[in-house]
Amino acid sequence: MASNLRPKSHMVASLFPDLGKELRPCRVFDVVSSLARNCGSGLRMKSLKKLGAAAFVSAASFSAALAADLPSRVAPPPLPPLPTIAGWDGIYVGSTYGYGFTNFKTSQASSRSKSESGQTGGALIGYNFQSGHFVYGAEAGIDLNVIRGNVPGQVGLNSSRLDTMDDIRFRGRIGYEFGWFMPFVAGGAVINETYQSTPNPANYFGQDKRTVGWTAGAGVDFKIDPHQIIGFLPQSLFGPVIVRLEYLHDSLPRETFTLGGGGPGVQTFRTESSSNIGRVALIYRFGDNPRRPYADTLGNVNWGGGYGGIFGGYDSLSTKSRLTGFGNTKESADGGFGGIYAGSNFMFFNNRLMLGVDGSTSVADATGTGTLAGTGDRTSIREFVKADLRGRIGYAFGSFLPFAAAGIDFTRNEQRDLVTGSQVGRVPVDNFTFGGGVDYRVSERVSVRAEYLRDESINRSTIRLNGGNVKQDYSSDAFRFGAAYHFE
């Protein structure tokens, strides 16, 4: 580039022949210096004009050479468009987990309050409508609680044990969405089952009661795509979800609990409670996940992706009790149950082989009677909650998907000695569950299900009726029918 910036003397001489005669060949700066000293008196006006032209050419040559060495200026690429965020309307289903603080207030001649805390979790299902930025809708949920403790006695009040076991909520919601997040408020009714009994360790006189109260709260829903945050996560398993952070307040009115069944030593309590709960929810909503083709070119229906719905059914259960030295006795019960189920399918071999996971939470009312081992007293039993988590395998035939399933099942029941009035209100049972059924695709988004489930207890439960230690095995046969909405 230096050679371009330094014009040679013969270039000047060719442009200014007269200048060359009077000044002799020289460099340009010599010419300029001579002009500055008024030398070269023989210069004519036309020579000055040609000198100006030479200066212009030199400046142009310098600018061109400098520009050739500078990087070219290219317009920056346009910014990528902002991602499109789907709306908030439509059906959704999810699971919840949280921690609650319950304040119990119980009274006889005097009253006393006691706060207890513990875990809570379950399932929910709902539907949103959207008008502009406003989102409103209805939601139902079932949560199982582990919030319990003893209330010490005082003058005019016997000690007791309180246990808030489960909640069913029906709520309305309204929120205002800001694209990827939506704050909301919610309120409605809560149906709670509480168990009050004489305190540990002799907690074998008690009563369960369902009470209707009110619930209110607020929270924020966030739309998150784990696959975009952690790229190696498979899109089919970790697609877009809604993560909810929420606060709830439940208030239950005063209810009467009678301990002892009306026999000798009966105790009556008047008890009320209020709860403050913080929880998180993981929710799937139709429209947030990439849409899958309903059927392939061969006409095979694609069963892949997430789904959620509601179900109802009939359950027949039996318990076999034994007390060392007294032989075995049996209780039988039956009744209905219903709740929320959800899962996800993964398809292989041209959308024919299905592997999946499925879970449900339900409330039940299966009641019956039997005989207590050791005493021969007549007893009653009531199963009031069920939950399960299973793996599934199936093979699709067009709109039909027969399947087999196996996993774990969790139930709770209450049992009472009808002679003495002794009652145990929380009998947890862990089971191995297996069965089979068929899903039928009614439309692109809706399927129905019919299935059979068999439960067998994993460990024996200990029943402390009348202070004894009766060991008990559990089994049940259930038929249930459901309808689900497919999100992808």
Q: How far is CA 144 from CA 6, 218, 382, 416, 422, in A?
A: 90, 20, 17, 22, 24
131 by Cβ neighbours in 10 Å (0-12 / 13-18 / 19+) ranks as exposed
Which is nearest to 197 in space by CA: 276, 261, 264, 109?
261
User: Among residues 300, 284, 294, which one has the least CA distance to residue 401?
Assistant: 300
pLDDT of 14 > 90? The answer is no
The ranges assigned to domains in the chain are 2-66, 89-290, 291-488
Specify which of 71-75, 205-209, 217-221 reaches the highest per-range mean pLDDT: 217-221
- φ and ψ at residue 482, rounded to 5 degrees: -145, 170
Q: Residue 62: its pLDDT value, please?
A: 39
- H or E element at residue 75: none
Mean pLDDT of 65-76: 47
- Cα separation, 454 vs 114, in Å, equals 41
435-445: per-residue pLDDT in tens? 999 999 999 88
Contact 287, 91 (CB under 8 A): no
Quickly list H helices, 439-487.
Answer: none
Q: How is domain 291-488 classified at the CATH fold level?
A: Porin (2.40.160)
Between CA 196 and CA 271 the distance in angstroms is 9
Select the more confidently predicted residue: 358 or 74.
358
Total Cβ atoms within 10 A of residue 151 = 22
Lowest mean pLDDT among 52-61, 339-348, 357-366: 52-61
Q: What is the DSSP string of 212-267?
A: EEEEEEEEEEEEE-HHHHSTTS-TTTS--EEEEEEEEEEEEEEEEEEESTTSTT-E
Q: Judge contact between 65 and 2, C-beta under 8 A.
A: no
Closest by Cα among 38, 46, 50, 24 to 9 = 24
Contact 217, 185 (CB under 8 A): yes
Q: Which pLDDT band, with edges at 50, 70 and 90, does 460 fall under?
A: confident
Confidence of residue 237 (pLDDT cuts 50, 70, 90): low
Cα–Cα distance for residue pair 384/310, rounded to 1 Å: 17
| Dist CA 205 CA 267 (whole Å) | 9
Q: Which of 454, 237, 443 shows the shortest CA–CA distance to 343?
A: 237
Return the closest-CA partner of residue 95 out of 340, 410, 306.
Answer: 340
Residues in the chain: 488
- As beta bridge partners, residue 328 has 322
SS3 content of the chain, % helix, strand, coil (to 5): 10, 60, 25
| Most confident among 70-79, 317-326, 332-341 (mean pLDDT) | 332-341
Does domain 89-290 bear CATH number 3.40.50.720? no
What does the block give as tokens for 53? 């032209």
Compute the distance between CA of residue 393 and CA of residue 228 in angstroms, rounded to an integer: 29
The DSSP letter of residue 467 is G
Structure tokens at 428: 């947890």
Instruction: Tell me whether domains 89-290 and 291-488 share a fold.
Output: yes
What is the band of 285 on the pLDDT scale with cuts at 50, 70, 90? Answer: confident
* Residue 332 structure tokens: 């039988």
Q: Which residue has the higher pLDDT, 265 or 57?
A: 265
CA 374 to chain centre: 47
Categorize the per-residue pLDDT at 284 as very low, low, confident or very high, splitting at 50, 70 and 90. confident
pLDDT in tens, 375-425: 888 999 999 999 999 999 999 998 999 999 999 999 999 999 998 888 898
**Burial code of 221-255, b = ≥16 C-beta within 10 A, e = fewer?**
bebbbebeeeeeeeebebbbbbbbebebebebeeb
Neighbours of 189 (CB within 10 A): 13
* Minimum mean pLDDT range among 107-111, 203-207, 216-220: 203-207
Give CA–CA dist 89/70, Å, rounded: 55
Going by C-beta distance under 8 Å and a sequence separation of 6 or more, which residues neighbour residue 293?
302
Dist. CA 373–CA 329, nearest whole Å:
5
**Tokens standing for 155?**
């003058």
* Maximum Cα interatomic distance, the chain, rounded to a whole number of Å: 144
Other Cβ atoms less than 10 A from the Cβ of 194: the count is 26
Write the pLDDT tens digit of every residue in 153-194. 999 999 999 999 999 999 999 999 999 999 999 999 999 999
pTM score above 0.85: no
